[in-house]
Amino acid sequence: MASDTSLRSALSRYSQTVLTVADEPMIVDLVVSANAGQHWVAERISFLASLTSRAPDTRGVPPICGLFLCPPGTSKETNAQAVAGWNPQARPVALPLNDPYLNTAIVGTTFAVQMVLAPGQRVTIPFGWFLRAIIVCAAGSATPGPGAASSGELTAMMTEEFDGEC
C-alpha cells in the first residue's frame, strides 16, 4: 500500500537561538515536534555563533564542539562538568561536519564561529529526537564557555516524512 505523500511537508527552515549568561558551555537544542508515525529528515544543518570572550581551539573540535543527534531525555553538559572535563552523554550521536570542522574569524572584539553538516549528508531525526550544537572553548578550565552574552543559532532545513518512507 502506498503512503499518502500529499500530506508530506515541504522543505522548511527551523532554528533555535541561545544567549549565554556566564562562562557555561553554549548548548543549543533544536526540537521540532512531529506526530507519532512521522519523523524529520534534515538536509542542511548549520550553527553560527558570535562569541564574546574566547573561541574554541580548532585543532580539537570534535568531540568537544559539534553537531549531535540526541534521543529524548538527553542531559545537557553542566558548567561543573565542563570545568571538570566534559560530559560524553550530552553528545550521543555525533554528526559528520564539513572540513574544516569549525570555521572561526575575529570580528572586532568577538569571535565568529560556524559549523556545518558535511555536504551530501541527510540526517533522519526519529520521533521525539532532536538536534544539538555544542561549543566549549576551554574544557577542563575554570572558564570553559565562550563568555557571557555570546549568542548562537542552530538552523536546519528539514522535511517531515511518514515512517516507512525512504
Three-state SS annotation for 68-133 = EEECCCCCCCCHHHHHHCCCHHHCCEECCECCCCCEEEEECCEEEEEEEECCCCCEEECCCCEEEE
Bridging pattern class, strands 38-51 and 110-116:
antiparallel
| One-letter amino acid for residue 111 of the chain | F
* Confidence at 6, pLDDT banded by 50, 70, 90: very low
Evaluate if residue 3 carries a pLDDT over 70.
no
Cα 144 from Cα 66, distance rounded (Å): 15
Report, in angstroms and rounded to the nearest whole number, the Rg of the chain calculated over CA atoms. 17
* Confidence at 102, pLDDT banded by 50, 70, 90: confident
Share of the chain above pLDDT 90, in %: 76
Whole-number pLDDT of residue 40: 94
Tens-place pLDDT, residues 23-66: 999 999 999 987 889 999 999 999 999 999 999 877 656 789 99
Please report where in the chains the cell 534534515 appears, as a residue. Answer: 42
